[in-house]
Copies of this chain bind each other. A is one copy, B any other.
Amino acid sequence: MKYGFGIDLGGTTVKIAYFDETGKMLDKWEIPTVTENGGSRILPDIAESIRQYIDACGIADTAILGLGIGVPGPVNAKGVVNKCVNLGWGVFNISETLQSLTGFPVKAGNDANVAALGEFWKGGGQGCDNMVFVTLGTGVGGGIVVEGRLLHGAHGSGAEIGHMVLNRDETIPCNCGKRGCVEQYCSATGIVRMAKEYLARSEFPSVLRQKEELTCKDIFDAGKAGDPAAAAILDQFYNYMGEFLGNVCNVVNPEVVVIGGGVSKAGSMLLDGIQPYFQKYVFHAASAARFALASLGNDAGAYGAFKLALDAFG
């Protein structure tokens, strides 16, 4: 039996997990992400933490097949990172660097893509060959699996579906600098913004008006409880999601669309809300895509990162 590590590198913490080759997670822990000095300590910290773990557990180096790592930025199939703004990183080959620090072979991918691979392997996409994964959190991320393999894209930016344009006439800029991106409407942030706009322009009574700091959860809770303003806001969100995912499925034609991220905690209500709009916008030949919730939560990245290593070195 061989073993390996899956590493999910985030802006504040690094999640590290130890797996056996069947994909069983045997252990996991976190270390802080130190972004000072251009993020120069991040990879040495990871290497040291893994070395300490191996030594403490008495694991033979020869039992380790390799490491996989998900990175919050574009990474191409060769492991070249093309700037991670929130880590302070420029352009370099992360696979080579982390390999020389640890002595183990390393495979890297974009964090959203890697999380998609995790859900494909052990989560909501299990048993499928083609999957679209979308995370609805502070932003909107994505990952695509085509015939069992992650779509990296030519520049490591495959599946940046949160920045597809939904509203060419939008006047407010997205974080990316463009206007009218999916992320401006379908992220948790976007839903709250749409709700505030709705409440400001309508006279409808709503429990949402009593909230000091309106959250996405408040809106789903109020919608579930029958608040008509919340229902109207969610309907707008479902409509956008249906068009957005319909368009993605017209490109990819997957068996399954897996939805993760904080917003997916709304559960089946979310899937039921999106489905009719998805059917309205998707091309008939791609309309059989099944919808599922992500099931690995914060572990998706670690699972996917290890799977990258397993596919490459296992």
Task: List chain A positions with a Cβ less than 8 A from chain B.
Answer: 74, 77, 82, 128-130, 144, 146-147, 149, 151-161, 163-165, 168, 176-178, 181, 239, 243, 246-248, 250-255, 280-281, 283-286, 288-289
Contact = CB atoms under 8 A, between A and B. Distances in A.
A77 B255 CA distance: 13
22 contacts: A130-B154, A151-B252, A153-B254, A154-B254, A154-B255, A154-B288, A156-B253, A157-B253, A157-B283, A157-B285, A158-B251, A158-B253, A159-B251, A160-B283, A163-B283, A164-B251, A165-B246, A165-B247, A176-B283, A178-B283, A181-B283, A251-B252
B250 A74 contact: no
**Copy number in this complex?**
2
Nearest to A240: B168
Interface centre among A176, A178, A255, A285 (most CB of B within 10 A): A285
Given A154-B254, A248-B251, 19 more contacts: A130-B153, A130-B154, A144-B251, A153-B254, A153-B286, A154-B255, A154-B289, A156-B253, A156-B285, A157-B283, A157-B286, A160-B251, A160-B286, A163-B283, A164-B250, A164-B251, A168-B243, A177-B284, A251-B251
A253 B285 contact: no
A177 B281 CA distance: 10
